[in-house]
Amino acid sequence: MPKVNQIGHLISLEFLQALEEVYPLRLPNIHDSDRQLWHKVGERSVVEFLKAKYEEANENPLTKELLS
């Protein structure tokens, strides 16, 4: 089982794009219950976590070194 810091290497750009379509970043609906709201927040939180791990895994080490 991969460690959390290795997850980014398992994620494809196509997968992230599909998640963005299924769970887009949007404002909450005023008619959503608290439970629905927190469920949607959780879905989006997972998408953001996976995006961050993908970006970490695919960043250019030379660029990172120049920006430090």
pLDDT tens digits along 2-57: 677 788 889 999 999 999 999 999 998 999 999 999 999 999 999 999 999 999 99
Give the pLDDT of residue 4: 73
Residue 45 lies in a domain: yes
Q: Which domain holds residue 52?
A: 35-68
Residue 30 lies in a domain: no
Residue 43 lies in a domain: yes
Give the pLDDT of residue 65: 52
Residue 1 lies in a domain: no
Is-contact 6 56, C-beta < 8 A? no
CA-atom Rg of the chain in angstroms: 15
Give the pLDDT of residue 68: 47
How many folded domains does the chain comprise?
1
Is-contact 26 6, C-beta < 8 A? no
Residue 64 lies in a domain: yes
Give the pLDDT of residue 5: 74
